[in-house]
Amino acid sequence: MKTLPNRKITVALLFGGRSGEHEVSIDSAESILAALNPRKYEVLQIGITKEGEWLAGPDMVAYLRSGRGKAKSVSLQPEPRGQKKRWQDQVDVVFPILHGSFGEDGKIQGLLELAGLSYVGSDTLSSAAGMDKEIMRRVFQAHKLPVPLYEAVLKKEWKGKNSSILRHIKKSLQFPVFTKPANLGSSVGIRKCANVSQLAQGLQTAFRYDTKAIVDQGILGRELNCAILGNEDARASEVCEVKTKREFYDYDAKYTDDDTEIIIPARVSKTVRAEVQKLSLSAFHALRCSGLARVEFFLEKKTGKILLNEINTLPGFTSHSMYPRLWNFSGVSFGQLCDELIGYAIKHQAERKSLKFTY
């Protein structure tokens, strides 16, 4: 099937956004802009402000960082096409490099789909399911993939029944446990809790960010990651280990701490490496992801068990982020990664377009 046009491909790079990862997204976009070969691509830069306004201009990276420069407001209208010339009609593929809420959670993907556009990454359902830590775990469990023990708690249940919920969790899990808002990222709102009173505080914190929280059995061990690239034919990268001197891989360990180490390749046995790669692919396909994902694991010290923690469907994409670094080690350069992702997006859209929606 011929999917890539013979002329220059017009890519709309969408970045910034309303999530806590606004700045990371700008950094990711800057790396992508530097890597896209100008002989192959025409790039339309669309920056989304923290307030959610969409702006287009020649240097949106600088504009979003400083508020200075040229930018005009743009919007995305759903199909069908009208008389007016619209930016989206010139675009072959959208590269939404938006991490976290409103970017990685299926919302923007739904909008792009309504507008009939090809886009890099997973579609609405896979993105939304990959964002919700309870739904994701349920899908993994249905596919018999090993996950840590956990409980999901709704804010409305918590309000009325604090003590019975705490009693239940005390019975079903062992301390330490981790409390997390169900739909967030970057370790925001996550607490490690050593006892019942910390658990109560941890849940209270999680409910500031979401109406659903999950409580995880704390796993003592090492953290491993693997990157996935492709659609149905996806492949797995080398495996890395993340090491932090902090209590866990929290926000500061991710973004501010210079001591955090990413060890590629992880010093693990061939069997562990192969198992992590296999489980990463299974997790990717279980959620029917597309394009890319970074998958996180725990290697439990006591038992040697590999447990699947989560999948990130739009992982950090700066030149020093884990995802491109894993691929770089596995022989795929940053530029090649962008080329492949754009190709996969166009292929995926061709498949969507071939489907019928009426009788």
The smaller minimum CB distance to ligand ADP, of residues 190 and 234, is found at: 190
Number of residues in the chain: 359
The verdict on 178 binding ligand ADP (CB under 6 A) reads yes
In the numeric block, which tokens belong to residue 187? 């370790």
Q: Which of 57, 96, 121, 148 binds ligand ADP (CB under 6 A)?
A: 148
Nearest 5°: the CA angle 80, 116, 85 is 55
In the numeric block, which tokens belong to residue 356? 């019928």
The smaller minimum CB distance to ligand ADP, of residues 219 and 345, is found at: 219
The stretch near ligand ADP (CB under 6 A) out of 33-41, 43-51, 180-188, 258-266 is: 180-188
The verdict on 187 binding ligand ADP (CB under 6 A) reads yes
Q: Which of 16, 20, 96, 185 binds ligand ADP (CB under 6 A)?
A: 185
The stretch near Mg ion (CB under 5 A) out of 25-33, 51-59, 270-278, 292-300 is: 292-300
The smaller minimum CB distance to ligand ADP, of residues 223 and 339, is found at: 223
Structural contact between residues 273 and 197, judged by C-beta atoms closer than 8 angstroms: no
CA distance 354 to 356: 7
The verdict on 186 binding ligand ADP (CB under 6 A) reads yes
DSSP 76-115: -PPSSP-SS--GGGG-SEEEE---STTTTSSHHHHHHHHT
CA distance 258 to 244: 10
The verdict on 180 binding ligand ADP (CB under 6 A) reads yes
| Bridge partners (DSSP) listed for residue 15 | 47
CA distance 121 to 109: 9
Q: Could you give the string, one character per residue 191-230, with x where binding to ligand ADP holds by CB under 6 A and - elsewhere?
A: -------------------------xxxx---x-------
Question: In 3D, which of 221, 21, 12 has the Cα closest to residue 103?
Answer: 21
Q: Classify 173 as helix, strand or coil.
A: coil
CA distance 352 to 78: 16
Q: Could you give the string, one character per residue 234-273, with x where binding to ligand ADP holds by CB under 6 A and - elsewhere?
A: --------------xx------------------------
Q: Environment class of residue 258 by beta-carbon count within 10 Å: exposed (0-12), middle (13-18) or buried (19+)?
A: exposed
Question: What is the closest distance, in whole angstroms, from the C-beta atom of residue 151 to Mg ion in the complex?
Answer: 19
The smaller minimum CB distance to ligand ADP, of residues 217 and 280, is found at: 217
In the numeric block, which tokens belong to residue 291? 């394009």
Residues in the interface with Mg ion (CB under 5 A) total 1
Structural contact between residues 109 and 119, judged by C-beta atoms closer than 8 angstroms: yes
The verdict on 21 binding ligand ADP (CB under 6 A) reads no
The verdict on 102 binding ligand ADP (CB under 6 A) reads no
Question: What is the closest distance, in whole angstroms, from the C-beta atom of residue 87 to ligand ADP in the complex?
Answer: 32
The verdict on 87 binding ligand ADP (CB under 6 A) reads no
Eight-class DSSP state of 97? -
The verdict on 296 binding ligand ADP (CB under 6 A) reads yes
Question: What is the closest distance, in whole angstroms, from the C-beta atom of residue 255 to Mg ion in the complex?
Answer: 13
In the numeric block, which tokens belong to residue 106? 């299926």
Question: What is the closest distance, in whole angstroms, from the C-beta atom of residue 239 to ligand ADP in the complex?
Answer: 15
Structural contact between residues 158 and 181, judged by C-beta atoms closer than 8 angstroms: no
Q: Which of 309, 313, 318, 349 binds ligand ADP (CB under 6 A)?
A: 309
Q: Which does 219 bind (CB under 5 to 8 A by kind): ligand ADP, Mg ion, none?
A: ligand ADP
> Which value, to the nearest 10 degrees, does the dihedral of the CA atoms of residues 310, 314, 320, 324 take?
90
> Binding residues for ligand ADP, per CB under 6 A?
148, 178, 180, 185-187, 190, 216-219, 223, 248-249, 296, 298, 309-310
